[in-house]
Amino acid sequence: MNRTEQGIAKYLGEDCLHFLQKVRIGIAGAGGLGSNCAMHLVRSGFKQFTIADFDRIEESNLNRQFYFMEQVGMSKVEALCENLRNINPDLDTIKHVQTVSRENMLELFGECDVIIEAFDDAASKKALVETFLPTDKLLVSASGMGGAGNSDEIKTRRVRDNFYIVGDMKTECNAENPPFSPRVAICAAKQADIVLSHYLNKFNSEQTQTNRDSKGL
């Protein structure tokens, strides 16, 4: 384990960390949601990522996205992987610098255990949910995070066992309600928390069953 992983293992334990490191997480969109969610997941111990986005970093992204001034003009996917490796240099990342569409979603993220929906437009959100909801993958989406204030309205909703939505469900990002860092980051952190909680519960359940089996119960 590298130094970052050693530090994380102090909180999780080595067995749990190794369990999390087997999970592959798909990040569909590397903007405010995707970049910050990925950062939280790396700090939580996850190690395998598939990241897809066609866009490049602009100055207007720096108010909320996990990028830095010297990265303006870079591909978001390339810059995000660079920044994530500054946290954990031993990540396993698959990079797709391209537009994610209904036609290629399954090809891009088919090997992932988790899909983080981090798109800007409603049509892409809908397409991703319709593509992966019938599968057994954990799907975490977001809707409603524009503007400032009323952050307690950003909730986590469990729609199905494998499908969660985070947000206030009403405040779209637009000229009237711009995308500011606090509410966007809250949504991203909640998305990451769903994934972490899901796999911690799964690890603990498997450990409990293993202990029962070893005792012949």
Check pLDDT > 80 for residue 192: yes
Q: How many domains does the chain have?
A: 1
* Residue 30 dihedral angles phi and psi, to the nearest 5°: -115, 35
Question: Residue 15: inside a domain, yes or no?
Answer: yes
| Over residues 169-191, mean pLDDT | 96
Residue 216 maps to a domain: no
Q: Report yes or no on 23 lying in a domain.
A: yes
- Rounded to the nearest integer, the mean pLDDT of the chain is 96
Q: Which of 51, 44, 54 is nearest to 26 (CA)?
A: 51
The pLDDT-based confidence of 217 (bands split at 50, 70, 90) is: low
pTM, full prediction: 0.96
Question: Is residue 212 in a domain?
Answer: no
Question: Is the pLDDT higher at 91 or at 208?
Answer: 91
CATH assignment of the domain containing 190: 3.40.50.720
How many helices (H) does the chain have, and how many strands (E)?
7, 7
Residue 97 falls within a domain, yes or no? no
Within-domain flag for 215: no
Asked whether residue 215 carries a pLDDT value surpassing 80, the answer given is no
Residue 137 lies in a domain: yes
In this prediction, residue 138 carries a pLDDT of 98
Share of the chain above pLDDT 90, in %: 93
pLDDT at 208: 85
Residue at 21 is within a domain: yes
Q: What are the pLDDT digits (tens) for 13-55?
A: 999 999 999 999 999 999 999 999 999 999 999 999 999 999 9
pLDDT tens, position by position, 103-157: 999 999 999 999 999 998 889 999 999 999 999 999 999 999 999 999 999 999 9
The answer on pLDDT for 211 being more than 90 is: no
More confident residue, 21 or 213: 21
The structure tokens listed for 78 are 């390339």
Predicted confidence (pLDDT) at residue 212 exceeds the cutoff of 90:
no
**Distance from the Cα of residue 154 to its chain's centroid:** 17
Closest to 118 measured CA to CA, from 59, 167, 176: 167
- Residue range(s) defining the domain that contains residue 199: 3-29+38-91+104-206
Q: How confident is the model at residue 209 (pLDDT cuts 50, 70, 90)?
A: confident
